[in-house]
Amino acid sequence: MIKVLIVEDDPMVAQLNKSYIEQIDGFMFSGVAANTDEAVEQMAQIKIDLMLLDVYLPGLNGIEFLKRIREQNQDIDVILITAASDIHQIQQSLRLGAVDYLIKPFEFERFEKSLTQYKNSHYKLTDIDKVNQHEIDRLLRKSSPRPEAPKIQGLPKGLTKNTLATINHIILSKEPDFFSTDDIAEAANISRVSVRKYLKFLSEIEYLEETLIYGVGRPIYQYKLNESKRDQIDHYL
């Protein structure tokens, strides 16, 4: 089993990530640290294979902590999970050997993909004594390229222009406020499942800004019109 330590100062986010870990075979949740000092204490007590590390932490931040781990030659892999999307930080973390970088908010599918890719590489490298160039190239290559911005084309299968127009009319009426899937579903008298498909599509083409709100129970996605991309929808109506 791959032992995972979560370093995250937000208890709700930490709990969500813990629940995600527990849904993926081959991983074992080993603890939560609210700051790097607590992380060091846990690392001294338990052999950690993988750390899910936030960037913005009280005291020493995640990038500085990752640098310290590398300077000390500690045998631990790191996936950064953070709201930070600054390209300099991403480049710095990758140079320091982070195996992946997840930007909040993210869905379980992206989290699962990251851990599954790590697990496959982890066991392949630990189960063999020698490796050839072909195997190295295959291990270092991601199973799929980073998704690009959707190209202008027709609506995805299952979506219609009429329903999109209805949902868009409601979105515009709520400007500039945030809204949820339930808000649109109630106003449009359309099922929540269907509305979610449209909102996900509009987020993918950057027409909407998507934010994950952590509260009591499961996290809730909230949306807001992206003023700088409001013409992104024109082609689809």
Is there a single domain that holds both residue 6 and residue 115? yes
Q: What is the pLDDT of residue 47?
A: 92
Within a domain: 152: no
Within a domain: 146: no
CATH number of the domain encompassing residue 8: 3.40.50.2300
Residue 11 to residue 149: CA distance in whole angstroms: 32
Within a domain: 156: no
Within a domain: 217: yes
Query: Is residue 147's pLDDT more than 70?
Result: no
Is there a single domain that holds both residue 17 and residue 84? yes
Q: For residue 130, what are its two tokens?
A: 């020698």
DSSP the chain: -EEEEEE-S-HHHHHHHHHHHTTSTTEEEEEEESSHHHHHHHHHHS--SEEEE-SS-SSS-HHHHHHHHHHTT---EEEEEES---HHHHHHHHHTT-SEEEESS--HHHHHHHHHHHHHHHHHHHS-S---HHHHHHHHS-SSPPPPPPPS-SPPTT--HHHHHHHHHHHHHTTTS-EEHHHHHHHHT--HHHHHHHHHHHHHTTSEEEEEEP-SSS-EEEEEE-GGGGGGGGGG-
Of 95-109, 132-146, 213-227, minimum mean pLDDT range: 132-146
Within a domain: 166: yes
Is there a single domain that holds both residue 87 and residue 170? no
Question: What does pLDDT average to over the chain?
Answer: 84
Q: How does strand 50-53 pair with strand 77-82?
A: parallel
pLDDT band of residue 144 (cuts 50, 70, 90) is very low
Q: What is the pLDDT of residue 22?
A: 94
Within a domain: 225: yes
CATH number of the domain encompassing residue 216: 1.10.10.10
- 96-131 pLDDT, tens digit each: 888 899 988 788 999 999 999 888 876 655 555 555
Within a domain: 196: yes
pLDDT band of residue 26 (cuts 50, 70, 90) is very high
Is there a single domain that holds both residue 115 and residue 181? no
Q: For residue 28, what are its two tokens?
A: 């074992």
Last residue of a domain, one of 129, 151, 174: 129
Q: What is the pLDDT of residue 139?
A: 53
Q: What is the pLDDT of residue 9?
A: 92
Q: Which residues contact 146 (CB under 8 A, 6 or more apart)?
A: none
Within a domain: 142: no
Q: What is the pLDDT of residue 19?
A: 94
CA 207, distance to chain mean position in Å, is 20
Is there a single domain that holds both residue 83 and residue 178? no
Is there a single domain that holds both residue 21 and residue 61? yes
Of 25-34, 136-145, 164-173, minimum mean pLDDT range: 136-145
**Nearest CA to 37 among 21, 58, 17, 10?**
58
Residue 33 lies in domain: 2-129
pLDDT band of residue 146 (cuts 50, 70, 90) is very low
CA 82, distance to chain mean position in Å, is 8
- 180-201 pLDDT, tens digit each: 999 999 999 999 999 999 999 9
Is there a single domain that holds both residue 116 and residue 14? yes
Count of domains for the chain: 2
Angle between helices 192-204 and 161-173 (to 10 degrees): 80
For residues 111 and 13, the answer to whether their CB atoms sit within 8 Å is no
- 40-90 pLDDT, tens digit each: 999 999 999 999 999 989 889 999 999 999 888 888 999 998 876 677 777
Is there a single domain that holds both residue 180 and residue 121? no
pLDDT band of residue 21 (cuts 50, 70, 90) is very high
